[in-house]
Every structure is written in C-alpha cells, then in structure tokens.
Amino acid sequence: MPPLSWNVSEIFYSVQGEGRHSGMPAVFLRLAGCTMGCDFCDTKYAFAPGIPMNSLQILVELAKYPCKTVVITGGEPAEQDLPSLISVLKSAGHTVHIETNGAHDCDVSKADFVCVSPKKTVSENMLKKADVIKLLVGPQTTPQDVEKYYPCENEKTTLYLQPLDNLQENIAKCLQLIKQHPSARLSVQLHKLIHVK
C-alpha cells in the first residue's frame, strides 16, 4: 500500500507569530488549497494546488530542523486528510499544532493544540475542540461579532482578537473590545512586526 500523500504549499522554520505561542520556534507545514478564498487572506499563494508529498517525504523535510513542534496551517488543512497527517507526525515524535478556519468538522483529538479562526462559516463542533479561537478584527467588527464566541463554551478555550494587518485603527478596536470582554486576549502578528516569514 503506497504511503499517504498531501498537497503541500511550503515547509519552513520560523517562530510562531500569533496567539498563545507567539515567539515560540516552530516548523510550519503549510498545506495547499482553500475553498473559502477570503479576500483579506495574507497567504493567497497557498490557494494554489501545491506539491504532492507523501508521509516519508514530509518527515524527511521536517527532520532538517532542530525543532519538534510542527504547526499545520494552510490554505485550509482540514480540506485534506488532516487526522492521518496528525497521526503520522505524532508517531514520529512531533508536537502538533493546528491552525484552521474551523469550517470542516474533523478529528483533531490527537493534536496538542488547536486554533480555530472563524471566517465565513464555522463548525460548532470545531469551536468546542479549540484551545484558542482567534477572531480577526477589522473596521466592520462589532461587539456582537465578539459575543458570538464570548464567553467561550469550554473553560480551556481562550478568545484572541487579532487586528487585521496590524493596522493601528484595528489594534485600537481590539483594545476597546478586550476592555469590554476582559477574558479575551490580544494577538498581534509578531512575525510581521519583526519582518520574518
């Protein structure tokens, strides 16, 4: 039986730029493809088909780096066989973090950390599985948008508000909303501030 395969946009080593693990080294495994296609997406290049890589090829690539934390992101990783990929990485001794828009309900129970960033649609089941819900905040965001996810249903889940494009007016809106919703947290895009991928 041939090894499983995924369409990969890129694999690179950097620091996590967002949310709870901001500043932590990680290897990013960016899967290709996303049918949601948000116009504000900052990784539109990952909408392209990508390169097919089997589990052995992915593990060989990950072994080039000294870090054992792998962030599976996209595109939208849940549009491929995400549970099998998590299992492959966990069997190889990796700590696995997931970044997903949460539109597709899938088994992420073996992952060490799950971040759901709701966009046009989101699965209620995926929100329940999230360690972090990351809400992008732009000019049109209202307190009612925040209250869809606040307070979080699970005690383990933290709501992060992230200013779109790190724009100062969006940061100001995040701060205002966090003051109104005090268990929420601020997530700026650190990697953009320090100019790394």
- In three state form, how does the secondary structure of 131-176 look? CEEEEEECCCCCHHHHHCCCCCCCCCCEEEEEEHHHCHHHHHHHHH
Strand spans (E) along 2-62: 5-15, 25-31, 51-54
pLDDT recorded at residue 2:
65
The pLDDT value given to residue 153: 87
- Minimal CA–CA distance to 72: which of 32, 109, 17, 129? 32
Strand-pairing partners, residue 114, are: 98
Which of 117, 54, 74, 68 has its CA nearest to residue 96?
68
Name the residue with tokens 């905040």.
Answer: 137
Angle at 58 between CA 43 and CA 74, to 5 degrees: 20
The answer, yes or no, to whether residue 15 has pLDDT greater than 90, is yes
Residue 8 CA to residue 68 CA, distance in Å, equals 19
- Domain positions in the chain are 5-193
pLDDT, tens digit, 9 for 90 and up, residues 28-71? 999 999 999 999 999 999 999 999 999 999 999 999 999 999 99
Amino acid of residue 50: G
pLDDT confidence band for 1 (50 / 70 / 90)? low
The CATH architecture annotation of domain 5-193 reads Alpha-Beta Barrel (3.20)
What pLDDT was estimated at residue 90? 98
pTM for the predicted model, two decimal places: 0.96
The confidence score (pLDDT) of residue 36 equals 95
69-91 confidence digits (pLDDT tens): 999 999 999 999 999 999 999 99
**Residue keyed to tokens 């589990």:** 55
